[in-house]
Every structure is written in structure tokens, then in C-alpha cells.
Structure 1
């Protein structure tokens, strides 16, 4: 069978049988497009794609100057394809079974937001809200919505996609109970416990109630559509600039800050894993590296041994 048709079959499997997100499917399609164009693999019979050709393709990816993380992702996508073909008995042996691939990638620590900048950002937006006289204006409503999004990102550690796609039926603004559909359609629950965060969510809901009830999404934009991930990113950048915060802020940094601060407060990493929706504890453990960095700083500056001086 021809490679291009088998890739289409695999994409169908990912979309309708594995229920992967549209964003993931798009990434898969882009990776496969690059694979098919290499030496016209697209028109080959799948049995012609052996480990020699696959190794050649991986070497080619390195020549493009791609980061190890990107190369690793592309290889994982290909492995997924050939695992599927083997499982469906379209091929007898997955060529990756005979390959030893080790793609080393540098460990990059998640970037967090300094607490002083979180404080500065929230103080700034609350002041804007307080200074708007016309409580019926869209300007006031939009600021309330923006604060609600910021509070939710910081207090729950949700992914920006999870906030943007939050359904109105999945949040109880009275109790602060939120049902989240995460990666791989895995459902988890998380609570908003801070009263001020709950209050702003309640106020947002009261202002946008009619629009929310007419749509399935909780956060609504000026056009009465879903408040998109890109819009959330631009909103954060806007307030960062206006509040004169020098640190570059992104929505995902709120998630990293949420996890890191809980870890610093002594919360068990497995609880943090559940709140973040990580399927593997190893994904969550990257935050322990940040904690260790802080631990070193604490021991170097706060340990009482610093005050014990002995003269000879």
C-alpha cells in the first residue's frame, strides 16, 4: 500500500477513534507533509520504508537545524504511524523495532513569573476596573472578563487552551468547582478557593450571562464568540506593557508559577500532577529542579551556619 494513503488512514484514526484535538491533528499533518516530501516517500509502497530510509530521514532533520525537541516529536509521530500499521497488520514488522534512537535534548526549566510581577499585574487591572465609572460599558465588562481569566490562570494552573475552551456547563461559579477537559480528552476537576477569585468570576458571569447562555463557552469576546487562546495571550501582553512589567509574560507561565509555588509550599508532587492533568509524574518532576534551585539559594543565604564564625 502507498504511504500517502496510509498516512491519511492514520490521521482518520487519530481524529475519530483517538479523538485527538484539532491542534494535535494539524501538527501531525505538518510533520507528515515534511516526511512525505523527503525523497518522494509519499509515493512509495510502505514496505519500501525500512530502517535505512528512516535513519536517513532523521539525519536529514538534523541538517535542517531543528531543535532536538522538534526532531524528537517528529520521530514520535512516525513511530505512532508504524505502530498503528503493525497493529492493524498492514505491515509485518515495525521498522522502528530494529532501530535504537537516542535524541538528547537540553533540559530547559519552565519559566515562572516573579511574585512581585503577578502582584503588580493584578493590582493594575483591578485599579482599571475600579476607575471605570460606567459599569454598563463594554470597556468595564471586558476588564472584568480579563481579570477573571488572569485569576483563573493563576489560581488553577489551567492551560490557556483549557481556559479558552471552558464550557459554561463545566463551571460552578458559586462553589468554584470546575470540570476540565485536558489533553487526550482526559477529564479532571479543580477548585477555585480564593474568595476574591470567586467574586470576579461571579461578577463576570452576571455581566455576560445572556451571551454565555447563548454559547457553549464560558469566556466570550466582543463578537460574542469564544475568547480565543491568541486573544488571551495578546490581552496579557497588553497589560504587561501598560503596567510597565519588564518580564515577558505568557499564559503558560501562570501555569508554571502555580505548580512551582505549590511545590515551594510543600505540596506533594502527586497532588500537583493531578491538578495540572499530567498523565506521567515525570512531566511534573521538572518543577523539582526549580525548587532545588531555590533551595540552594535559601541554604546559601538563610542557613544559621552563616552566623557561626570561629576565629583561630
Structure 2
């Protein structure tokens, strides 16, 4: 419940109603706005800012710097600024403000984190599951297919039987924006899929078209796949838990490392913009730099001297 001493309570209530009724945002998004705005109004309360004409770019900038010093990430700060801009635009329409004090402010740049990947040996160690029961076959086919074709979690979970062509070793996936793409499937994945399809009929429900199902015969969920990979990470003695996107990242990195063709990797991953794919050039460079440091005699001498 909002503390009565906090400023702009009525205005915040009106904004909440606007987000819910007119914008029809999800409860989760509304909560995100509320958390961001609460940070700013706590700042206002601390500095005795109780009227809109007391809010200016300087006060927003000071709060931004304060949150940055407190350790809020660049991504969170950008979202915080976006929430403030939305609230101030609403305030302008209501006549409470004459201009948007957050409009020209910029959050610190977001540091791009390189995705974690497995090297080729680690990837093989993870996907080569032993065992011949129902779940063993399903999990082996699931892992092999993700790594073989670089699929997203949602893409592999959404696959239907008719999306796989074992004869021509192809899979049709539906990616972001409902865009479909046809991808090659490696021979190891095809072999694993054949083994899986031979036992899938034992549990599948009559009307279920999903390629990957649970022991109860229904489509496996995103969360179930994530949890299963965590369990398999321990079973396969991996150093760290492996999640579905790590297999996708590993596929991309290994393809780029072998082919050097960034456009090819972009097409395979289904990236709309090649700038999204370019992160893997940094991964490839890191790999080359690591090999150089290990192999080059001058690099070794420098390292031992240090």
C-alpha cells in the first residue's frame, strides 16, 4: 500500500488506471512501470519535491546518477528512463507538466555480454546421451536437434511431426514474428530422431502432433525442457549448467569458426538484422586469441614474464 507521505499519489493512481484501461498492458508490465516510478518518487520525497513545477531535467539526471552509483545496470536504467518518459508524457496530456524533463537524457550504454558457449568437445559430451528408454531417446533427439540446427527454445518446443523431413534431413521451424525457415539437420540428429520416433508412439495421445512429448503424451513445455537440461548437465558431468540457448550459441559459434560466413550463420539463426549475429565474431576472435596465447612462443614468453 502506498505511504500517504509519498508525493503525486493521485497522479500515479491515474497513470496506473491509464496503463490498465487504455493501454491494456499486462499486469507484469504495469508492475514494471510501478517499480521504476517508485524509485523516482522516493527521490522526490527525499528532496521535498511535491509539485510538478519542481521537477526538471536536473532532478531526473541526479536520480539517474544516484541509481547508477547504486549499481543499477544500464539495461535497468534505460527501462527506468522509458517509464519516466511515459509518465511525463501522460502528465503533459493532463496539463500537469509543460515539457518532458526526461526526454533528452540518456542512460549509460549497455555493456554487451558475450553469450556463453561450449567448445566442440563439451558440446559432444553433452549431447551424446547413453540409454535406450523413452526419455533417453527423447532427450538425445532433443539435444542433437537443437545443437544441429541452432534452434531457439520456443522453436524446438513448437515443432510438430510434419515439420521434420528425415529423408531430406530438413526441419521447418517457426521463429520470431511467425517467420518460418527451413534448416538442414545433421546425420547424428537424424539418427537420434529416428530412434525417438520409434518409441514416441508408445505414449503419444491420438490428437497430439508435437514432435517432442512428455511421458504423459502431451507437448513438452518450455520450462520442462529447461529443467531437463539442468538435470542432464549433472548427468553428463558438465562444469556448469547448460541451457537451451547455450546450445544455440555454441552452434552459431562453431559454424562461424568453421565457415567464416557471417551471412550464412545469420540465415541459419533466423536473425532479422546481421548486427545481432555479429556478436559471434567476437566469440570467434576470443577463440583465436586464446589459441594464439597458448601456441605462439612470444605470447608464452610474455605471459611467463608477467
- Say yes or no: TM over 0.5: yes
Which position in structure 2 is the counterpart of 1:8?
Answer: 20
The residue number in structure 2 matching 1:106 is: 111
Is 2:202 the partner of 1:190?
no
Question: What's the CA shift for 1:263?
Answer: 1.0
Which residues of structure 1 form unaligned runs of 5+? 15-24, 130-139, 307-312
Check the 8 A contact 2:20/2:30 in 1, yes or no: no
Shift of 1:154: 0.5
Match of 1:66 in 2: 72
Q: Which has the higher contact order (CA 8 A, sep 6+)?
A: 1
State the partner residue of 1:128: 131
CA distance in 2, matches of 1:224, 1:48: 62
Mark the CA change 1:128 to 1:205 in structure 2 (over 3 Å): closer, same or farther.
Answer: closer
1:1-47, Cα deviation, whole Å (9 max, x unpaired): 932133225753x7xxxxxxxxxx57634421313434299xx9x99
Which of 137, 141, 166 is the equivalent residue of 1:144? 137
RMSD: 4.0
In 2: Cα distance, 1:118 partner to 1:94 partner = 54
Matched, 1:242 2:235: yes
The secondary structure found in structure 2 opposite 1:211 is: coil
Deviations 1:241-300 (A, max 9, x none): 122222432221111111111111124212222322323222211111111122234445
Structure number with larger C-alpha Rg: 2
1:33 is aligned to 34
8 Å Cα contact 1:192/1:198 also seen in 2: no
**Stretches of structure 2 lacking an aligned partner (at least 5 in a row):** 1-10, 45-49, 300-306
User: For 2:66 and 2:209, how far apart are their aligned partners in 1?
Assistant: 45
Q: What do residues 94-152 of structure 1 show as CA deviations (whole Å, max 9, x unaligned)?
A: 837841304133332211112222222233x1x222xxxxxxxxxx1111111121012
Between 1:152-161 and 1:59-68, the stretch displaced more is: 59-68
Measured in 2, the distance between the counterparts of 1:274 and 1:49 equals: 48
Which residue is 1:134 aligned to? Answer: none
| 1:179 counterpart SS class | strand
Contact 1:212 1:218 in 2 (8 A): no
User: What TM-score comes out, normalization by structure 1 length?
Assistant: 0.70
